[in-house]
Structure 1
Amino acid sequence: MVITTWGSDGFAKATKTAVDATLAGGRMFGLVEGLSTCEALQCDTTVGFGGSPDENGETCLDSLVFDAEGMRVGAVANLHRIRDAARVAWGVMNYTKHTLLVGESATQFAKKIGFVETELTTNETKSWIETWKNQKCQPNFWKNVSPDPSGSCGPYKPSQVFSSNRNREAGYRVEKTNHDTIGMVVMDLNQKFSAGTSSNGARFKVPH
């Protein structure tokens, strides 16, 4: 059995891939193949390359895979220039004693185990950034900085006045293309579980 968030075509294909791969090679194989399918299909632009650029226009990827039976986990965050985030997370779980690798360190690890660097940004993401800048960089994830981030692009510096006002957070528009991602749970015929996720993060986030 495979349960996946969302039901649009890409997610449905990822679910079908996970089912078939689980029957052929086990639940961890099914999990990684399912997540990787969504990455390749750029599900709803929230998964995989070509989605959710940060303020600098770069797309980076996050993924986590979890083996419930073995209590094992592997994850990557802010993965640069590598398209196969779920497979790299699987590599972290199987080839290291770490749980999480981040940023350029994750990229270098991926290269060491055989992955090839490639561009994650597309012409579409470049156009999103241009539009965003033309709209005074709205929305963004800055607060308590000067100049006022609700009406300018910065550069910012810390403000002397702090506010706990949550109006800006409450007003953030939640839409299909900027909210959530793929989450997947796989149960095999022996009722053993695996779970995972893959994402390209929040659109226009602060680079890190």
Structure 2
Amino acid sequence: MFIIQATLYYLPLLSTVIAVVLSEQQSPIIIVNTWPFSNATDAGWNVLSPSNSTLFGSSIDAVVAACTNAEDDPNIESVGYGCSPDENGHTLLDAMVMDGKTMEVGAVASMPDIRQASQVARDVLLSTKHTLLVGPLAAEFAKSRGYKPTSLDTSKSHNLWIKWQKNNCQPNFRKSADWVPDPVTSCGPYRTNVSDINSPKLKDQRIKKLDINNHDTIGVIALDAYGSMAVGTSTSGSTYKIPGRVGDSPIPGAGGYVVDNIGGAVATGDGDLMMRYLLSFQVVDYLRQGIGPTEACKRALRSVRSVSAPLSYFHLTLTPNFK
């Protein structure tokens, strides 16, 4: 038996639960993703079940194909080039691929100038003994693998950045009391507010991101004809993030996690929170204990609700052999 569980959860209210149950003798071919990026899903499906071949593709290649499709789609404003500029006006990419059979992971983070982030992550997985490459040197690795450098910035992303600057750089991700000038009312360059560095209000203050589109990271889970599972993620990160920031997407256990014969999970939302709680790992670990996918998602999210302010998340869980 195979169960796909999609849970849309707005803390503290569970608003939508969708479950699909498939029961077959052979391993079914399944691919799902976090948002209605149907073209991306189709691209992954065509790898898993090619119409012109009797050979079935792997779950790893399927999640990469799906993520690549989203990365190349100019209409998706949260994945790939030309979107989500940072404070300096530049777009950088994060991506991860995880193999549920070997538990190997390949990931890149804060990578400039290379549009095929998920493909480079797969190269890290398959062609190195490392897990995560970051920054300009991740791009250098990609070039050594034959990827051609291309600017990730476009006129659209530049115009977004200019508009943001004209709005006094609002919203942003800096805690107000720690900086001069005050990031609530002004753009940088910022420097440390020495007079308030020991202020107790620093412990509680955080400027929350306000852009609803910041949650639309693509996360993909695939189960291939051979019974192997994989997850893939790709994102351009939070819009107007502080340069150098890395989100949850390339972090195993946060953006995604998968174990063959147990299940897989991907998540999207406030990546800084998800890295603290490793929500995808929590979900899969609950599945390992025999807990159903809906309850696994609920329990993982409760760990956030018990500590942090309400925020929205979307969890997608795929569990094989669940009873």
TM > 0.5 between the two?
yes
Does residue 123 (structure 1) correspond to residue 123 (structure 2)? The answer is: no
Instruction: Give 2:241's aligned residue.
Output: 205
Instruction: Give 2:182's aligned residue.
Output: 148
Query: Could you report, residue by residue, the CA deviation over 1:161-193 in whole angstroms, capped at 9, with x for unpaired residues?
Result: 242334632xx3241x22231000001123321
Aligned AA for 2:81?
F
The structure with higher relative contact order (CA 8 Å, sep 6+) is 1
> Is the contact made by 2:97 and 2:106 (CA closer than 8 Å) also made in structure 1?
yes
Aligned AA for 2:192?
P
Taking the TM superposition and a 5 Å limit, the aligned residue runs for 1:36-115 are 36-42=68-74, 44-115=76-147
Inter-partner Cα distance in structure 1 for 2:105 and 2:117: 14
Determine helix, strand or coil for the equivalent of 2:207: helix
> Is the contact made by 2:174 and 2:207 (CA closer than 8 Å) also made in structure 1?
no
Aligned AA for 1:90?
R
Query: Could you report, residue by residue, the CA deviation over 1:48-100 in whole angstroms, capped at 9, with x for unpaired residues?
Result: 00010011111010100001012111000011100000000001111111100
Aligned AA for 1:39?
E
Determine helix, strand or coil for the equivalent of 1:18: helix
> Is the contact made by 1:61 and 1:198 (CA closer than 8 Å) also made in structure 2?
yes
Percent identity among equivalent residues? 39
> Is the contact made by 2:112 and 2:136 (CA closer than 8 Å) also made in structure 1?
yes
Inter-partner Cα distance in structure 1 for 2:105 and 2:127: 11
Q: Which runs of 5+ in 2 are unaligned?
A: 1-29, 50-55, 245-323
**For residues 174 and 132 of structure 1, do their structure 2 counterparts lie closer, same or farther at Cα, with a shift above 3 Å needed?**
closer
Instruction: Give 2:226's aligned residue.
Output: 190
Does residue 14 (structure 1) correspond to residue 40 (structure 2)? The answer is: yes
Aligned AA for 1:164?
K
Q: Which runs of 5+ in 1 are unaligned?
A: none
Query: Could you report, residue by residue, the CA deviation over 1:99-133 in whole angstroms, capped at 9, with x for unpaired residues?
Result: 00000110000000100000111111111111111
> Is the contact made by 2:173 and 2:207 (CA closer than 8 Å) also made in structure 1?
no
**For residues 167 and 88 of structure 1, do their structure 2 counterparts lie closer, same or farther at Cα, with a shift above 3 Å needed?**
closer
Inter-partner Cα distance in structure 2 for 1:167 and 1:70: 39
Aligned AA for 1:4?
N
Inter-partner Cα distance in structure 2 for 1:13 and 1:74: 24
Shift of 1:159: 1.7
Shift of 1:43: 5.4
TM-score by length of 2: 0.60
> Is the contact made by 2:109 and 2:135 (CA closer than 8 Å) also made in structure 1?
yes
> Is the contact made by 1:38 and 1:47 (CA closer than 8 Å) also made in structure 2?
yes
Inter-partner Cα distance in structure 1 for 2:129 and 2:206: 42
Aligned residues: 202
Aligned AA for 2:169?
C
